[in-house]
Structure 1
Amino acid sequence: MRALLCFLLMLLPLSAQDTGAKIVTAARKQVGVTLSYDPAYVSLAYPGGDVPREKGVCTDVVIRALRDGLSQDLQKLVHEDMKANFSAYPKNWGLSRTDKNIDHRRVPNLQAYFKRCGYKVADTKDATKFLPGDLVTCTVPPNLPHVMIVSDKKTTEGVPLVIHNIGGGAREEDVLFTYPLTGHYRWK
């Protein structure tokens, strides 16, 4: 009976807490591996394409965390949604069609995708509302979009740390409220 109960529990969908923990664990594994910030355009395999793990940008931390932690491929997910709903995505780059090499590596496209999928969480500056694994976007001065993953570690004041790549490789640090927040999302 106990074995059957355990088996049935395994079939239940992951809770937000389990999902967040998997995202954080996968993101943290990039610290010390992704050592530089490199925004260069790269032709990628599809699906499952990635730049070399030792480099990348903020979105690459999120892409790898979702791929490694949840087996979710943002390259494929964003590309397919953009192909089907191109008009719902920003036109910041003057594109007339999708590009599977870069679309998922652009923060405004991720924001559009997360919102379209119902992952948006109410905007707040209340640190208690940020759960491990939440995805947070912000603007780094003067106007650079950025994305971070909320950690399960907190400051002594209770503010969650974030895992991101803002220029020196993947790192975990206390910058959640350093830049103006532009979005808060929770993977379901």
Structure 2
Amino acid sequence: MARQRSAFYDTIEYIGPRPEKPKRPNFFGGWVILVIAAGIGFMIGRPFIPFLKAAQAGTSAEEANMVISNLESSHNMGDRLAAAALVAYSSAPVTYDDTYRTIDYPNGDIPLNRGKAEDVIIRCYRQIGIDLQQLVHDDMEENFRLYPQLWQATGPDTNIDHRRAANLQRFFSRNGDEILDENNRPSREAKDYHPGDIVTWTLPNGDAHIGIVVPSPLDRGNHPWIVHHLDSGVKWENVLFDYQITGHYRYPAATVQANAK
């Protein structure tokens, strides 16, 4: 007679975690996440690149004074404007301030220890006898609709119009020389930028920005540098091509400068 198996052997109880079906490796997951993270890190860190470059460059007021002495003796208006820009760099610190203020007209200004990029431009031009506050206002009174309509203004405002990069850009394009390459765009060649030229950019965050072309320190090679005020004081930096250039101007125009000599 056949021997019967005990029911004990019919079921084997497994004690432990439930076995799972092996997952297929995700080829895209790891490296795609790394690429996205690297891209985000680059975009966040990009505004700090000029600051890091300036820290490495270590430009000083003494170096600025050496270049200023070479520029101030020039009869060229662009050289004298560049000298004024370097004086602004080497002077007392200026705290970034973009607030609207009621100021005098003409020759009005906010406190000298405060300002932004446009205020550097205005103050430097005044050092060579040109009041952009009045000139921009006069042009906007006659041609208000030709200027950017970005601030819901219904007419010119002597307190703020000249302190906006977009308005200065339009004024320089209308009344100065706009410097363009063979493709009708601002050049990407350093040789095309001269001391005293005005450059406008779009920053990574979309804001308009403006600065003055100046020489580099005497021992750093013959390259165009920029004096500008971004957010941490007036800087003298090798940042001409660090942002998207939207305009390149010489004001006054070359013909005006020639007639003034």
TM-score bracket for the superposition, by shorter chain length? 0.7 to 0.9
Q: Which residue of 1 aligns with 2:197?
A: 134
* Max Rg structure: 2
1:110 lines up with 2:174 in the alignment = no
- 2:105 pairs with 1:46: yes
Where does residue 36 of structure 1 map in the other structure? Answer: 95
Query: 1:18-44, CA deviations, whole angstroms, 9 ceiling, x for partnerless residues?
Result: 111110111111124242110011111
Number of equivalent positions: 172
Paired amino acid for 1:89: Y
CA contact (8 A) 2:215 2:223 kept: no
- Which one of 68, 77, 80 corresponds to residue 135 of structure 2? 77
Work out whether 1:186 is the aligned partner of 2:241: no
Distance 1:45 1:175 in 2: 33
| Distance in 1 of aligned mates of 2:113 and 2:233 | 8
Q: Distance in 1 between matches of 2:120 and 2:113?
A: 11
**AA of the residue aligned to 1:125:** R
- Distance change in 2, residues 1:135/1:79 (3 Å): same
Report SS of the residue matched to 1:183: strand
Question: What is the TM-score normalised by the length of structure 1?
Answer: 0.87
Residue type at the aligned position of 2:245? L
Taking structure 2 as the reference length, the TM-score comes to: 0.63
Identify the structure with bigger relative contact order (alpha carbons < 8 Å, sequence gap 6+).
1
Q: Counterpart of 1:29 in 2: which secondary structure?
A: helix
Corresponding position of 2:240: 176
CA 1:107/1:17 → structure 2, altered by over 3 Å: closer, same or farther?
farther
Aligned residues with identical type, % of pairs: 39
AA aligned to 2:211 is: M
What RMSD, in angstroms, separates the aligned Cα atoms of the two structures? 1.6
Letter in 2 for 1:54: N
- Larger helix fraction of residues: 2
- Any conservation in 1 of the 2:226–2:236 contact (CA below 8 Å)? yes
Quote the offset at 1:157 in angstroms: 5.9
Greater percentage in strand: 1
1:55, 1:175 → 2: CA distance? Answer: 23
- Between the aligned partners of 2:153 and 2:112, the Cα distance in structure 1 is 27
**Cα distance between partner residues in 1 of 2:75 and 2:195:** 7
CA–CA separation in structure 2 for the residues paired with 1:17 and 1:150: 17
Q: How far off is 1:163 after superposition?
A: 0.3
2:154 aligned counterpart, secondary structure: coil
Aligned-partner Cα distance in 1 for 2:177–2:95:
29
Which runs of 5 or more residues in structure 2 are unaligned? 1-73, 181-185, 253-261
